[in-house]
A and B are shown apart, each in its own frame.
Chain A
């Protein structure tokens, strides 16, 4: 049975969204715990989110 690519795209978006959401949530926790390290945490968060986003987009274009 052929699964439409739009379903795959949806799955990708769900996965990437969950991943970025988790990163953002953890970063918020970390900042709440250590507000003085917020700069470093934000940088790391952005990088991690960007990497997931990149994979998400790559998969989206492949789909």
Chain B
């Protein structure tokens, strides 16, 4: 358990190291906070002119948008001198299955301001989702709960999250194939970035896979290693200012959890099923009661995996962004610098959580695989 101690030590050390800088940092944040506040105030005034929106709801909306997937890779937006909103980023392809394949660039939505047209079909963005509309002028109809009532086409677009998954997959592929190649080149010793990742791979093998799964660990190693680095990298990417939230998306975590469930179920031996349907060592009536509970348990396990990762990431992002948002709400130097430090400390904590959630997901997956592979659980000498 080296990995769980070191980040903690690091965070404590970093916080202590930062203490003497408090005074100095206060003055700098104070001086930088002024233009930021001014900008925020200016923006608030501008908004006040066009729509009665206060800063709090704006921040709330911004967080909501950040948490959601989007059809373009949006870095930031600003207002030019003429008061026109400019968005910096690049559009991603939209792929819909609606009377055949419809492929077009998300730039055609003009950030939700226009309806996009493809082969005579019109689509409109509404709250991050694509709805079909009859013509270019029609708006998405909403019911009294603000739910859209228009039809949703089957959506296989390369969204921001898909794009990031692809990027992370590419990074992982090049990183680890390079590591694999470096062994041959370097006489069995890792070189470069592999020196950092090799101990982690060994940690996953020696402290996660072998103790939890046992002697059959080899066939699960690929999955465990991939899932650990995949979640970890995506979590870390989520902390960057790129503003992506892939692991905080229920579809992504659901996919990972379902894979764990499928692998557990497919590789389970008869011992595992025996424990679910006919628990040995308990009276017969209890066996009948236990069977559905155990069966439900097998589904609850991956469900909790899914929810845990999703909720941790969403909660981390929401808290972090709310505190950053507080900087703009507090219109004095004390509150702004205070929330700056809170955000800084929380960011460090989130780095720990990023690794911890990847670790827990991998660990629990290994635990479930181990349960599916267990032999002679109830020995005679019980």
Binding site for B on A (CB under 8 A): 38-39, 42-43, 46-47, 50-51, 53-55, 57-58, 60-61
Establish whether residues A58 and B303, one from each chain, have CB atoms under 8 Å apart when the complex forms: yes
Which residues from A are CB-within-8-Å of B4? 42, 46
Checking B304, B311, B360 against A46 with a beta-carbon cut-off of 8 angstroms, the contacting residue is B360
Tally of chain B residues near chain A (CB < 8 A): 17
Establish whether residues A58 and B1, one from each chain, have CB atoms under 8 Å apart when the complex forms: no
Cβ-based interface call for B364 (8 A): yes
Establish whether residues A47 and B308, one from each chain, have CB atoms under 8 Å apart when the complex forms: no
Which residues from A are CB-within-8-Å of B359? 46
Establish whether residues B308 and A54, one from each chain, have CB atoms under 8 Å apart when the complex forms: yes
Complex Cα gap A46–B4 (Å): 10
Interface-centre pick from A39, A42, A57, A61 (highest chain B CB count, 10 A): A57
Checking B1, B303, B312 against A38 with a beta-carbon cut-off of 8 angstroms, the contacting residue is B1
Which residues from B are CB-within-8-Å of A61? 307, 311
Which residues from A are CB-within-8-Å of B367? 47
Which residues from A are CB-within-8-Å of B364? 47, 50
Establish whether residues B304 and A54, one from each chain, have CB atoms under 8 Å apart when the complex forms: yes
Establish whether residues B311 and A57, one from each chain, have CB atoms under 8 Å apart when the complex forms: yes
Complex Cα gap A61–B253 (Å): 15
6 A–B pairs (Cβ distance < 8 Å), ordered by A: A46-B360, A47-B364, A50-B363, A50-B364, A54-B305, A57-B312
Establish whether residues A57 and B308, one from each chain, have CB atoms under 8 Å apart when the complex forms: yes
Which B-chain residue is minimally distant from A49 (CB atoms)?
B360
Interface-centre pick from A42, A43, A47, A61 (highest chain B CB count, 10 A): A43
Complex Cα gap A38–B207 (Å): 13
Which residues from B are CB-within-8-Å of A55? 304
Complex Cα gap A13–B1 (Å): 28
Contacts A43-B211, A46-B356, A50-B363 known; list 19 others, CB within 8 Å.
Answer: A39-B1, A42-B1, A43-B207, A43-B363, A46-B4, A47-B360, A47-B364, A50-B360, A51-B304, A53-B312, A54-B307, A54-B308, A55-B304, A57-B308, A57-B311, A58-B303, A58-B307, A60-B311, A61-B307
Shortest Cβ distance from residue A16 to the other chain B in the assembled complex, whole angstroms: 11
Which residues from B are CB-within-8-Å of A46? 4, 356, 359-360, 363
Within 8 A of A (CB), among B288-342: 303-305, 307-308, 311-312
Shortest Cβ distance from residue B62 to the other chain A in the assembled complex, whole angstroms: 23
Which residues from B are CB-within-8-Å of A43? 1, 207, 211, 363
Checking B1, B207, B307, B363 against A57 with a beta-carbon cut-off of 8 angstroms, the contacting residue is B307
Shortest Cβ distance from residue A24 to the other chain B in the assembled complex, whole angstroms: 12
Complex Cα gap A47–B370 (Å): 14
Complex Cα gap A39–B363 (Å): 14
Shortest Cβ distance from residue A18 to the other chain B in the assembled complex, whole angstroms: 18
Which residues from A are CB-within-8-Å of B211? 43
Which B-chain residue is minimally distant from A57 (CB atoms)?
B311
Which residues from A are CB-within-8-Å of B363? 43, 46-47, 50
Shortest Cβ distance from residue A32 to the other chain B in the assembled complex, whole angstroms: 15
Establish whether residues A53 and B1, one from each chain, have CB atoms under 8 Å apart when the complex forms: no
Complex Cα gap A51–B367 (Å): 12
Which residues from A are CB-within-8-Å of B303? 58
Which residues from B are CB-within-8-Å of A38? 1
Shortest Cβ distance from residue B297 to the other chain A in the assembled complex, whole angstroms: 11
Shortest Cβ distance from residue A28 to the other chain B in the assembled complex, whole angstroms: 13
Complex Cα gap A48–B211 (Å): 17
Task: List 7 tightest A-B contacts by C-beta distance, closest first.
Answer: A54-B304, A57-B311, A39-B1, A42-B1, A54-B308, A50-B360, A57-B307
1/0 per residue B238-249: CB within 8 Å of A? Answer: 000000000000
Shortest Cβ distance from residue B292 to the other chain A in the assembled complex, whole angstroms: 19
